[in-house]
Every structure is written in C-alpha cells, then in structure tokens.
Amino acid sequence: MMNLEIEIVHYTIEDLKLEVQKEVFFEGQTVLPITKHRAISHINNPRASENDTVLLIAKAKNQICGYIGMMPDYLFYENSKTKIAWLSTWWVSPELKGQGLGYRLMKEAFKCYDDNILAISPSKHSLKVFQQSEKFNFITLNKTKDYILKLPGTKNANAKNILKNFIINFINFYQNIKIDKWLKKNKLKSSIKFEEVKNISDEMNEFILKSNKNCIFKREKNEFNWILNFPWILNKASMPDKRPFYFSAYLDFFNNKSVIIKDNEKIIGFLFLKIRDRFMSASYLVIQNQYFNSITTVLGIIIKKYNIYSLTISNVLISNEIEKQNFPYIKENKFEYPIIVSKKFSHIDFSNYEFQFGFGDAVFT
C-alpha cells in the first residue's frame, strides 16, 4: 500500500445517522471503523451537535486504511463551557504504520475542534505519537488504587494449570468466606437502603448537581442516562457483525450500574460503577461525608453479588475507609491516571478542579 493516494473522509453525527439506517453498515469495507451500537451511542450523545465530526476515516482505493474516533464533550471552567473532543479510537493499517498517516489523522482531528482535543488511556504506540507531536500536556490526576479481591483462573487445561487453578480456587473460596464475615460485621443500619436504577431521576440529579460545582467535566442526568442506555460494549452473544473492529466492542459481561443510596428515604449517596467482566471500577461517586462507612458496605454487597475480582477507585476518602475498615482484599496496586490535554488549555490549573475516574470516554470502555 506504499505511495497510495489517501483521502480523509469526515463523518458527523448527521452522517452517522444516515449510515446506521443503511441495510449494510459500512458496506463493502473489510474492517469496521466503528461498531453500529457505538455509532448509535454517538448519535444520542446529549453533548454532541448534528455537525460535530465524530469519525475521520482514511481511505485508499475506497478501502478503509485508518481512522480516528472522537467523542464530543464540554470542559467547564471560569464560569463557561468549551466544546472539546476525546480521542476514543485511533487505528492505522499495519501496512501503513510509520508513514505518518496516524499523525495526519490527529492533525485533522485538531482542525475539527479548534485544537480542543483530549485523550486518556492511550496505547503505547499512541502515547508515543502524542509525545512526538508536542501538541499535548500530560497531567497526572489523583492516585488510583486497584484492590485485588480474587484471582482469575486460566482456561488452558494442562497439568501445570490444573494445579494453579486448584490453588486459585482455594484462595477465592477463602476470600468469599472472609467477605461474608466482613459483611456480617459491617451491616447497614436498618434505615439505609440502596437499589440499582436504570435511569437517573430528577431527585437524583439534584443530589448530583450539588457536588458538580468544582468538576471540570460535569456529569448530570442526561449524560448518565445516555451512558446507561447506549453502551459501547455489548454481550458477545449479541455480536451480529464479524468484521474486525480493533477496539472493545463485545465481552462476556459489561455493564454500568447506577446505584442510589438513601437513609430514611433521603438520598445520601450515588454510585456509578462499571463492571467489565468481573473487574469493577467506581466511575463516579457522590457521597455525604458522614456516610463513607455505609458506602463501603454497599460496595462490599455489590462485590459479593457480582463475584467481583478487583475494585478500582480514585476517591481517596473511600480508599481510606476501605483500609480503615479492613475490607478483605488480597493486595492493592497504586497507579497514576494521566490525562492528555491539548496545549491550548495550558492556562488552566487543573489541580484546582475535582476529577472523577469515569471522565471522558473511559466510562464507556
């Protein structure tokens, strides 16, 4: 594919609406630049406009040879909001790696959003391009902790792995006993109730908004309902299109859980949890300070219900409570969660703002 003429095609929200209505989605292409369900999610993004570009496709001889996806969002600072886009997918055909197509796509994305581009959780190759472009600042956010609760087994049935799985099953069995004992010791007060909800109510939204004042990426009712109802990852059993898409699209289990907690019918906490197979992360938490111990118990109940292997959390106060109450985890891993921000926003002191783990497109994948 050397020395081919390559064109870059823009897909706006309006263009995606037309594409999903076709009998064959991206007909004639051997690879998918976006899954149909992700395209439908983009169309329903409450922060996107009809003319926002959400996908750039590179074509050679009418076949897709590269693409970059963008998720429109807003950045809130100094009593104003600015339209931005998160780079959500970025792929170049192996035959064209190292020929500058990836960088060309990124530059085009910058043009679409007047340099208002951000990214998170890049691959090693993407990170290298970000660094070489000299267009970004790399900002370190709150230290995040990953609590290992149980150990995943291995599916390869050789003699070595049979012994390994036996040991893992024993450890997990013992962990289940420890979690059960912990839950009996740390029961919720009878006045505290919680439930998983499928949509954010006006009452819940009012509670969430009270905590949003210092968030630079504000989430509220419309955004949470969008994330809940239009996921980017579906169950493998529902996979209709076998063409390759080089990003997460189907898993054995993927779900966002919206949990509301009340004390005597008054809202005291809101949890937005992402479960990817048996690994759970706390994407968004709003909690009244005096109820941190109760929220930890709620997390423990959910961990037991869904047989969770690990809990990833960036809320320092909740992490402290987990450790203070001696929740039975095997070990903890600490890591930093960087955000990649266009140098256009160099004037903003991001340390003055609150961040939640599920900002950007991370909550979707």
105 plus 237 within the same structural domain: no
196 plus 315 within the same structural domain: yes
Q: 281: alpha, beta or left, given left = phi > 0 and alpha = psi -120 to 50?
A: beta
Q: Is residue 150 part of a domain?
A: yes
Both tokens of 57, joined, read 């496709």
87 near 39, Cβ under 8 Å? no
189 plus 93 within the same structural domain: no
Q: Is residue 1 part of a domain?
A: no
Residue 275 has pLDDT above 50, yes or no: yes
279 plus 324 within the same structural domain: yes
> Which CATH number covers residue 75?
3.40.630.30
101 plus 174 within the same structural domain: no
> Which range (2-16, 200-214, 235-249, 306-320) has the least confidence?
235-249
Please say which residue of 111, 134, 157 terminates a domain.
134
Instruction: Kindly calculate the radius of gyration of the chain based on its CA atoms and give it in whole angstroms.
Output: 22
Beta bridge partners of 8: 58
pLDDT, mean of residues 50-65: 97
Give the pTM.
0.92
Residue with the bigger pLDDT between 283 and 354: it is 283
Give the pLDDT of residue 20.
97
> Which range (6-15, 220-229, 310-319) has the least confidence?
310-319
Distance spanning both ends of the chain, measured CA to CA: 31
The domain tally of the chain equals: 2
Distance in angstroms (rounded) separating the CA atoms of residues 65 and 169: 45
Average pLDDT value for the chain: 92
pLDDT, mean of residues 200-218: 91
Give the pLDDT of residue 1.
44
192 plus 170 within the same structural domain: yes
pLDDT, mean of residues 58-63: 95
Give the pLDDT of residue 157.
66
**By residue range, what is the domain housing residue 37?**
6-134
Beta bridge partners of 276: 254, 279
Residue-wise pLDDT for 348-363, tens only, equals 998 888 888 788 899 9
Q: Is residue 364 part of a domain?
A: no
95 plus 180 within the same structural domain: no
Q: Is residue 352 part of a domain?
A: no
116 plus 155 within the same structural domain: no
Residue-wise pLDDT for 298-310, tens only, equals 999 999 999 999 9
Q: Is residue 355 part of a domain?
A: no
Please say which residue of 134, 156, 191 terminates a domain.
134
**SS3 per-residue string spanning 69-87:** EEEEEEEEECCEEEEEEEE
State percent of the chain over pLDDT 90. 74
Residue 203 has pLDDT above 90, yes or no: yes
Give the pLDDT of residue 279.
97
12 DSSP 8-state letter: E
Q: Is residue 287 part of a domain?
A: yes
Residue 329 has pLDDT above 80, yes or no: yes
159 plus 122 within the same structural domain: no
Residue-wise pLDDT for 89-135, tens only, equals 999 999 998 889 999 999 999 999 999 999 987 777 788 888 888 99
Give the model's confidence band at 277: pLDDT under 50 very low, under 70 low, under 90 confident, else very high.
very high
Residue 297 has pLDDT above 70, yes or no: yes
Q: What angle do CA 282, 286, 292 make, to 5 degrees?
A: 85
Residue-wise pLDDT for 242-252, tens only, equals 899 999 999 99
Please say which residue of 100, 134, 168 terminates a domain.
134
Q: Is residue 311 part of a domain?
A: yes
pLDDT, mean of residues 210-234: 92
Residue-wise pLDDT for 142-200, tens only, equals 678 999 999 998 877 677 788 889 999 999 999 999 999 999 999 999 999 999 999 99
79 plus 219 within the same structural domain: no
Q: Is residue 193 part of a domain?
A: yes
292 plus 152 within the same structural domain: yes
Give the pLDDT of residue 3.
64
327 plus 203 within the same structural domain: yes
